[in-house]
């Protein structure tokens, strides 16, 4: 009897042990079969150029739609803010129409994303569907207050036979730190050095001109043009559609060869062809006022301003992946994007230089 009881006790203990083991195996199986954790989402922020902003608005939904682990936001703050935000680490990408100055902090990159242009626009009733001829010297005269009326002899000389109106000119300039101001004042410095003495920069001390107006962003420039008859302003080409919808005209500019040229795909590419081969490894170069006979004189690289050192390997990889996509002909440099903002794609040599810079981001 005692032996039977002992055998029964042992059997119960073995069954209990086996049950626990099986339960453990079931638990392990459940853990092994559990779903993997979702990939961490990386948030990227861009601020800067109002000229580049419309392109970012086209890029973002397309890119984030195919890269679900990335969120990307953009803000039109002006190139000056975009540069400083990238330098102090507030954002991962600063956008700028201007390349970095020589005294920029070490470890900063300026990476071309596309080629754009700038237009000289005006609101002169009766002439807004036509293209008046303007030169750097005349425009410098307007912005220094030496030329004050649209029927001035200097403007009439460039437009023979055109019945120009006796209308006061209202020069408009940017109030914010702006890559467009950098481009515009660089054009005046190169094309009319004897007339334009303030030199160039994203922010300058504007000559005092009675009746002049300041505005923020390219959108603000277009609004100010529409509100002021007789006004003239420098506006990035990505705002061409918005401006023409408001009945604003734009000029044919005199290039270095003495031809008056409109900003078309052909004339922008002609300007680029004469200068992009000179692009250095750091890609800081002016594409303004080149030698081509049919070249439009105010074009530029649109830059991403990025620190080589990002906050984490994950963020660095996300920045590299996005920028590589942005400069690719099958990605952000596709005509389906660029044509909507009147930009031109990067030449193959510039793409190679940009790829080398992007690879430095860690």
pLDDT in tens, 171-218: 999 999 999 999 999 999 999 999 999 999 999 999 999 999 999 999
Q: Which domains does the chain have, with CATH numbers?
A: 42-114+301-358 (3.40.190.10), 118-278 (3.40.190.10)
CA angle 220, 225, 231 (to 5 degrees): 135
Summarize pLDDT for 262-278 with one digit per residue, the tens. 999 999 999 999 999 99
Q: What is the dihedral of CA 57, 62, 66, 70, to 10 degrees?
A: 0
Mean pLDDT of the chain: 91
pLDDT tens digits, residue range 337-348? 999 999 999 999
Q: What is the pLDDT of residue 202?
A: 96
Please give the average per-residue pLDDT across 101-128, as a whole number: 97
Which residue is it, tokens 């690719």? 328
Count of beta carbons in the 10 Å neighbourhood of residue 75: 17
DSSP sequence for 89-118: TS-SEEEESSPPPTTSPTTEEEEEEEEEEE
pTM over 0.85: yes
- H/E segment holding residue 356: helix 348-358
């Amino acid at each position: 009897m005692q032996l039977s009881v002992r055998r029964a006790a042992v059997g119960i203990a073995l069954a209990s042990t086996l049950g626990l083991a099986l339960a453990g195996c079931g638990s392990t199986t459940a853990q092994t079969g559990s779903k993997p954790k979702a990939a961490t989402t990386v948030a990227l922020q861009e601020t800067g150029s109002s000229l580049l902003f419309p392109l970012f608005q086209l890029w973002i939904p397309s890119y984030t739609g195919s890269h679900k682990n990335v969120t990307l936001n953009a803000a039109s703050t002006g190139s000056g803010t975009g540069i400083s935000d990238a330098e102090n680490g507030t954002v991962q990408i600063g956008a700028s129409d201007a390349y970095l100055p020589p005294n920029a902090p070490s470890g900063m990159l300026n990476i071309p994303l596309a080629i754009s242009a700038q237009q000289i626009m005006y609101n002169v009733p009766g002439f807004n569907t036509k293209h008046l001829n303007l030169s750097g010297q005349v425009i410098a005269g307007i912005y220094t207050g030496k030329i004050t009326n649209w029927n001035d002899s200097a403007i009439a000389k460039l437009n023979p036979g055109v019945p120009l109106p006796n209308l006061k000119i209202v020069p408009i300039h940017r109030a914010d730190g702006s890559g467009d101001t950098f481009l515009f004042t660089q054009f005046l410095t190169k094309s009319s050095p004897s007339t334009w003495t303030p030199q160039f920069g994203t922010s300058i001390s504007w000559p005092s001109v009675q009746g002049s107006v300041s505005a923020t962003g390219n959108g603000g420039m277009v609004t100010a043009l529409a509100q002021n008859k007789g006004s003239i302003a420098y506006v990035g080409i990505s705002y061409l559609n918005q401006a023409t919808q408001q009945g604003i005209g734009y000029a044919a500019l005199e290039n270095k060869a003495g031809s008056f040229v409109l900003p078309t795909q052909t004339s922008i590419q002609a300007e680029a062809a004469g200068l992009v081969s000179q692009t250095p490894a750091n890609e800081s170069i002016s594409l303004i006022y080149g030698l081509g006979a049919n070249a439009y004189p105010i074009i530029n690289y649109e830059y991403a301003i990025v620190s080589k050192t990002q906050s984490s390997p994950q963020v660095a990889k996300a920045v590299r992946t996005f920028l590589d996509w942005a400069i690719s002909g099958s990605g952000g440099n596709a005509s389906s994007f660029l044509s909507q903002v009147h930009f031109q794609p990067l030449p193959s040599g510039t793409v190679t230089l940009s790829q080398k810079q992007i690879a430095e981001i860690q």
